[in-house]
């Protein structure tokens, strides 16, 4: 059974049909990219999947459960963790603390355990801190662990956001344009990190404008245009798909890649 199953997802904002009956499946362990021109409805689709707003109609199933209309934190708790197009870091905290917060989903304890510090809580705190350092090493930020997050250059803030999402040990990671605003080198570094996440067994859905990135790492691609799914397939099929080429104005962007 598919890990994520989107069925006829439709999202209407007044007169605007942002998503129209979009259906696709994501299998466990897959790396799927969602592409499309600006305004095609990609981020809306992410928001519908991650619970930011409910779909007007249609359903979302994750891990066999119906998560249609569930709250964002509920969706995250189920194991579907997302990042945002605009970096959303906890700026006043250190790089390591940012990642430690990411472990919220996979840890437990509230006010009383914080106050009385039972043994399991101390062990948990240790593993949270050790785990955060490991993830920072994984994305290459271990040297900046104790710096305030807002002093990182933009490209590294992106990596930090990914590391923080990984601390939640997602079963499905949604990355919303992670390469936006990055230079070529930074994009390379990011692509490499995403590939390693995928190799580590995490299922990934990626929204991306950077075609070279998508063609290089995605196993399968869903193409949206004007809120509809116009194509779905392997990168090579998508490159030569006539509708996709038309959507991208003659397809220069794709042919260049």
Partner 1 sequence: MTSHAITSTEPTSVGWRSALPIAAVAVVAAYGLMSSDYVVTVLGFAFIYAIFCTGLNFFMGYTGQASFGQSAFAAIGGYGSAILCTDYGWEPLLALIATMAISGVVAAVVGYPTLRLRGHYLAMATFALGLIAYEITIEWTSLTQGYMGYAGIPPLGLGGFELATLKQQFIAIVVMALIGVGVASRLRQSRFGRALASIAGSELAARALGVDIARYKLVAFVIAALYASAAGSLFAHFVGFISPEIYGTSMVIQSFAMLYLGGIGTTWGPMLGAVIVSVLPEALRGLKEMQDIAYTAILIFILIFAPRGLAGLTVLFRRARRPALGKA
The site string for partner 1 over 176-215 (x = CB under 8 A, - otherwise) reads ----------------------------------------
End-to-end CA distance of the chain: 33
Q: Is 136 in the site for partner 1 (CB under 8 A)?
A: no
Please work out the total of residues on this chain that contact partner 1, with binding judged by CB under 8 A: 44
Among 20, 30, 97, 177, binds partner 1 (CB under 8 A): 97
> How is residue 58 written in tokens?
């249609």
Query: What residues contact residue 232 under an 8 Å CB cut-off, 6+ apart?
Result: 24, 220, 221, 222, 223
Half-sphere exposure of 83 (CA within 13 A, CB side): 30
Among 8, 66, 108, 153, binds partner 1 (CB under 8 A): 108
Q: Which is nearer to partner 1, 72 or 233 (CB)?
A: 72
Largest CA distance in the chain: 65
Question: What value, to the nearest 5°, has the Cα angle with vertex 45 and ends 216 and 162?
Answer: 50
Q: Is 91 in the site for partner 1 (CB under 8 A)?
A: yes
Parallel/antiparallel/unpaired status of strands 65-66 and 57-62: antiparallel
Among 5, 50, 157, 202, binds partner 1 (CB under 8 A): 50
Q: Is 85 in the site for partner 1 (CB under 8 A)?
A: no
d(C-alpha 41, C-alpha 20), whole Å: 9
Among 76, 182, 205, 221, binds partner 1 (CB under 8 A): 76
Among 13, 16, 53, 117, binds partner 1 (CB under 8 A): 117
203 bridge partner residues:
172
The site string for partner 1 over 149-168 (x = CB under 8 A, - otherwise) reads ------------x--xx--x
Closest CA to 32 of 231, 229, 224, 217: 217
Instruction: Report phi then psi at 63, rounded to 5.
Output: 55, 40
Name the site residues for partner 1 (rule: CB under 8 A): 50, 71-73, 76-77, 81-84, 88-93, 97, 100-105, 107-111, 113-115, 117, 119, 121-122, 124-126, 128, 148, 161, 164-165, 168
């Amino acid at each position: 059974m598919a890990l994520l199953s989107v069925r006829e997802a439709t999202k209407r904002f007044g007169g605007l049909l942002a998503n129209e009956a979009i259906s696709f499946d994501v299998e466990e362990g897959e790396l799927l990219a969602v592409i499309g021109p600006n305004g095609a409805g990609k981020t809306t689709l992410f928001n519908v999947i991650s619970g930011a707003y409910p779909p007007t109609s249609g359903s979302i199933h994750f891990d066999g459960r119906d998560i249609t209309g569930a709250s964002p934190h509920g969706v995250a708790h189920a194991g579907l963790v997302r990042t945002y197009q605009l970096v959303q870091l906890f700026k006043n905290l250190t790089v390591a603390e940012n990642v430690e917060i990411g472990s919220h989903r996979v840890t437990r304890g509230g006010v009383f355990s914080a106050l009385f510090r039972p043994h399991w809580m101390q062990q948990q705190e240790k593993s949270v801190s050790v785990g955060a350092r490991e993830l920072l090493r994984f994305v290459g930020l271990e040297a900046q662990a104790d710096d305030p997050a807002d002093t990182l250059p933009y490209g590294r803030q992106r990596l930090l956001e990914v590391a923080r999402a990984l601390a939640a040990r997602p079963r499905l990671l949604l990355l919303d344009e992670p390469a936006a605003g990055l230079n070529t080198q930074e994009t390379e570094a990011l692509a490499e990190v995403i590939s390693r996440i995928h190799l580590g067994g995490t299922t990934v859905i990626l929204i991306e404008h950077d075609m070279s990135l998508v063609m290089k790492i995605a196993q399968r691609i869903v193409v949206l245009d004007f809120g509809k799914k116009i194509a779905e397939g392997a990168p090579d099929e998508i490159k030569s798909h006539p509708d996709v080429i038309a959507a991208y104005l003659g397809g220069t962007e794709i042919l260049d890649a």
